[in-house]
Structure 1
Amino acid sequence: MSRYSKDWREISMEVKEKADWKCAKCGADFKDKKSSRKGNCLQVHHWNRIPEDNRPENLVALCNVCHLEYHRGRKGNISIDQLSLNL
């Protein structure tokens, strides 16, 4: 059973749109999909590592590279292997 809410797709889209489709850490721009490097994407990270907590202040848009860095630093709620499956 997923810990993510049923409306996670809509919530994550809102976070990405509010971030103007840019990574909050490195500034990578995903507005023009042609300009993003192959394999890179914009994801949404839960700061407190609780997927059920979708308060706006707990969510941040990160490119997959920066998102993976947070999870490698043990700042995430899923393993690196699970995260790589989302790429």
Structure 2
Amino acid sequence: MSNSRYSEDWQAIATAVKEQARWRCAKCDRQCLRPDDDITGLTKSERTKITLTVHHHNRMPEDNRAENLIALCTTCHLACHTRQQSNIPPGQLSFEF
């Protein structure tokens, strides 16, 4: 059994949220990378800025109700965790590339 607070189907849930958002940040409207986009020539920093993530409004990763989830670019997602109390310290957020 995993110690993760995220459900086993989290990747599928997150992908569905991102697809529904048309791979755009709900806060700043930045167009983010889709899974099949060519990232040749992009630095890690450039990729990070245009990576779409999914944020839990109530900071509870176990709560995957649609109204609790929002697609945010990395910058906006980190701002949420920096400005407000969070269940995960900003330095421990992980992003897949």
Instruction: Give the TM bin, normalised by the shorter chain.
Output: 0.7 to 0.9
Counterpart position of 2:16:
14
Distance 2:71 2:48 in 1: 16
- Specify the structure having the higher radius of gyration (Cα): 2
Does residue 78 of the first structure (1) align with residue 80 of the second (2)? no
How large is the Cα RMSD of the aligned pairs? Answer: 2.0
Q: Is the contact between residue 20 and residue 31 of structure 1 (CA under 8 Å) also seen in structure 2?
A: no
Please identify runs of 4+ aligned residues in structure 1 that moved more than 6 A. Answer: none
Name which of structure 1's ranges 40-49 and 69-78 shifts more when overlaid on structure 2. 69-78
The runs of 5 or more residues in structure 1 that have no matched partner are: none
The runs of 5 or more residues in structure 2 that have no matched partner are: none
Shift of 1:75: 4.4
| CA deviations over 1:18-44 (Å, ceiling 9, x no partner) | 001000001110256458833221000
For 1:24-63, list aligned pairs within 5 A.
24-30=26-32, 33=37, 37-40=46-49, 41-63=51-73
| CA deviations over 1:28-73 (Å, ceiling 9, x no partner) | 1025645883322100000001000000000000000000000001
Identity of aligned residues (%): 48
State the TM-score, normalizing by the size of structure 2. 0.79
Distance 2:78 2:33 in 1: 21
Aligned residues: 86
For 2:26, what is the secondary structure of its paired residue? coil
